[in-house]
Chain A
Amino acid sequence: MRPTSFSKVAIDMYTEQMKWTLWFMVFILVAQIAHIILVISPLNIESTLRNFLPFLYGSAKIYMLIIGIFSYGFLTFYVTQGVTRRDYFIGSSLAAIGLSITIIIIGVILTGLQFMILDRIIDYPMTSPLFDNHGFLQPVYYNMNIFIFYLIGYLIGIGYYRFGWIIGFAFVAFAILSIILTETLLKSQPAIAFTGLLALTATILIFIRQITKRMAVKV
């Protein structure tokens, strides 16, 4: 019989985290609708209304960071179920890629609906364009970036789990540096941004694999 493969881990982790993610998306959508209502209401509240995608992206970074931190819990669970650390690493990474893509695709669809519906029924004071400085590639960058935030959280989680509090702080420092780097890269030329984000993703993935490769599961 075949052992549990990384694809099973990927599907299960994606499904489990998607359940949390749907709650998160609903919450963000409600917040955005409330914002729109407040801006266009007779109260005439002065506020910059952004379209849904950048609004979602801003919160999704923090959300992905947090669920990334909790990833190490899945590692101990899977090893207890007889799954190798390697299969867990590949499966969890694929699940996080799937999660990032899904969040952004849902974001793009809802933003499209926002334009189509709101433009027709109300005078909609949109202050941000659908795509920022990277044009049509913007969702791709958003996607890469929230994936990186997940990986940063993942790294912090396993760093603390494996090395404890004191060395854990070094992981937080590395995380802050990585966040600054991604924000800087996103403002750069597309080629630099793309290559830089890809290199950062690979670096963090290598770190995670090296740390979890022989990691002990605490009893």
Chain B
Amino acid sequence: MIFDIEVNNVSLKYKDFAALNNISFKLKGGQIYGLLGRNGAGKTSLLSLLASFRQPTAGNIKIGGETPFENADIMQHASFIYDKDYKDEWNKVSVMLKFAERYRLNFDMDYARQLVDRFKLPLNKPVNKLSKGMQSAMNVTIGLASRTPVIIFDEAYLGMDAPNREIFYKELLEEQSRQPRTMILSTHLVSEMDYLFDEVLIIDKGDLVLHKNYEDLVSSGFSITGDSNSVDTFVKGMQKLNEKELGNTKSVMVYGDLSEEMRLEGQRIGLEIGQVSLQDLFIYLTSEED
């Protein structure tokens, strides 16, 4: 079962604060989406809407062609894994897995046990006694083993150490190849996770500023370095993301398509043309007014 997601003119207001402004996008089922945005950009608000944790103030959402909110046929197929406050959760990890098994129809307990071993999760420890990283590992275990057609990980790696994060990413890709699902990953660890994404969405101050295929996106950012005057002439009319100058040398990061002729022309006049990482693009696309 594969679900597409459609978000149409969605806005969300908390009293006087606009968390999301008229956002629209479509996500094809069975792919991994990276949702990037700075703190307070509206990522969790958007994901809460997709998970039916709340309703939009305006606009509508469709998952598998249906409105998900209070729709049992959709809600049971969508999981939302987020940084939950477990200070009052006295149940053991094993009990939490059993809960998930009881309510998530496709939950695979054998797979959950494998993940428990890989993350070295203590099954008999109360959840509130686990370290933050271990709580995250438990969340990720439940999320992956629930095998819901739509799965949302909202900064699910918080507190996890580097080896466990690696396990998470690896399992995520393996799961996706075993049984493609619609996965949405929100993250700040852009450089670490970018290879996971099929498509990238960037939101900033409640607006969707970008939605693009990952390959296209990283091939639309360039750094042009060379003699200041030549660089300035070359980048005229292009969308500049960032400029750095040292003596007579300038480096400009631009966003947009660069034709083969332009590229050759740049090289001819002695400019160095390099690729820009998703992390750099993210930083510059969301930091213009700082």
Among B44, B52, B75, the residue within 8 A (CB) of A219 is B44
Asked if A82 meets B53 with Cβ closer than 8 Å, knowing A4-B72, A219-B82, the reply is: no
Asked whether B48 lies within 8 Å of A84 as measured between CB atoms, the reply is: no
Q: Is B54 within 8 A of A3, CB to CB?
A: no
A177 at the interface (CB under 8 A from B): no
Across the interface, B104 reaches (CB within 8 A) one of A79, A82, A86, A216, namely: A82
With A216-B54, A217-B54 as known contacts, state yes or no: A82 contacts B70, CB within 8 Å. no
Number of interface residues of A (CB under 8 A): 21
B178 at interface by CB-CB < 8 Å: no
B99 interfacial by beta-carbon distance below 8 Å: yes
Expressed in whole angstroms, the Cα–Cα distance for A86 and B79 within the complex equals 18
- The answer to whether the Cβ of B166 comes within 8 Å of any Cβ in the partner chain is no
Chain A residues within 8 Å of B71, by CB: 84
Does A83 sit within 8 A of B, measured CB to CB?
yes
Contacts of A82 in B (CB 8 A): 75-79, 103-104, 148
Q: Are B99 and A3 in contact (CB under 8 A)?
A: no
The answer to whether A134 has its CB under 8 Å from any CB of chain B is no
B225 CB contacts on chain A under 8 angstroms: none
Total A-B pairs in contact (CB under 8 Å)?
A: 57
In the complex, A39→B214 CA distance in Å?
Answer: 80
CB distance from A14 to the nearest CB of B (A): 14
- B53-78, CB < 8 A from A: 53-55, 69-73, 75-78
Residues of B within 8 A of A219 (CB): 44, 48, 53, 82, 154
Residues of A within 8 A of B52 (CB): 79
CB contacts under 8 Å to A, within B249-269, are none
A1 to B149: give the CA distance in the assembly, Å. Answer: 13
B236: interface (CB < 8 Å): no
Is B80 part of the binding interface, using a Cβ–Cβ cutoff of 8 Å? yes
Task: Kindly identify which residue among A3, A80, A85 contacts B73, using a CB–CB cutoff of 8 Å.
Answer: A3
Q: Mark B204-234, 1 if CB is under 8 A from A, else 0.
A: 0000000000000000000000000000000
Q: Chain A CB within 10 Å — which of B75, B99, B100, B154 has the most?
A: B75
Chain B, Cβ-Cβ closest to A77 = B99
Q: State the CA gap A216–B100 with chains docked (Å).
A: 21
Q: What CA separation (Å) do A81 and B76 show in the bound complex?
A: 7
**In the complex, A29 Cα to B269 Cα: how many Å?**
93
- Measured between beta carbons, the chain B residues less than 8 angstroms from A84 are 70-72, 75
CA gap between A82 and B74 in the complex, in Å: 8
B14 vs chain A, min Cβ distance (A): 9
- List residues of chain A with CB within 8 A of the CB of B44: 219
Chain B: residues with Cβ within 8 Å of the partner, total of 26
Q: A1-B105, A219-B44, A219-B53 are in contact. Are A80 and B80 (CB under 8 A)?
A: yes
Indicate if B102 sits at the interface (CB-CB under 8 A): yes
**A4 and B76 contacting across the interface, CB-CB below 8 Å:** yes
Q: With contacts A79-B52, A82-B75, A217-B54 known, is A12 near B70, CB below 8 A? A: no
Docked complex: A1-26 residues within 8 A CB-CB of B: 1, 3-4, 8, 12
Q: In the bound complex, how far is the Cα of B73 from the Cα of A78, in angstroms? A: 15
Report B178-202 CB contacts with A as 1/0, cut-off 8 Å: 0000000000000000000000000
- CA gap between A219 and B82 in the complex, in Å: 8
The CA-CA distance from A4 to B75 in the complex, in Å, is: 10
A213 to B54, CA, bound (A): 11
Interface positions, chain B 1-59, Cβ under 8 Å from A, are 44, 48, 52-55
Contacting residues, chain A, for B48 (C-beta < 8 A): 216-217, 219
Asked if A214 is at the interface of the complex by the 8 Å CB criterion, the answer is yes
Inter-chain contacts of A8 with B (CB < 8 A): 102-103
Rounded to whole angstroms, the CA-CA distance of A164 and B78 in the bound complex is 28
Check if A79 sits within 8 Å of B55, measured CB to CB: no
Interface string of B85-126 (1 = CB under 8 A from A): 000000000000001101111000000000000000000000
Chain B residues contacting A213 (CB-CB under 8 Å) are 70
For the complex formed, measure the closest distance between the CB of B143 and the CB atoms of chain A, giving whole angstroms. Answer: 11
Flag if A87 contacts B103 (CB, 8 Å): no
State which residues 204-219 of A face B: CB under 8 Å.
213-214, 216-217, 219
Does the CB pair A214–B55 fall under 8 Å? yes
* Besides A79-B75, A82-B76, 4 new A-B residue pairs in contact (Cβ under 8 A), listed by A number: A3-B75, A82-B77, A86-B70, A216-B55
27 examples of A-B residue contacts, CB within 8 angstroms: A1-B105, A3-B72, A3-B75, A3-B105, A4-B72, A4-B76, A4-B103, A8-B102, A77-B99, A78-B103, A81-B100, A81-B103, A82-B76, A82-B77, A82-B104, A83-B103, A84-B70, A84-B71, A84-B75, A85-B70, A86-B70, A87-B72, A213-B70, A216-B48, A216-B53, A219-B48, A219-B53
Which 6 pairs of residues, A with B, have the shortest CB-CB distance?
Answer: A216-B54, A81-B103, A3-B72, A217-B53, A82-B76, A3-B76
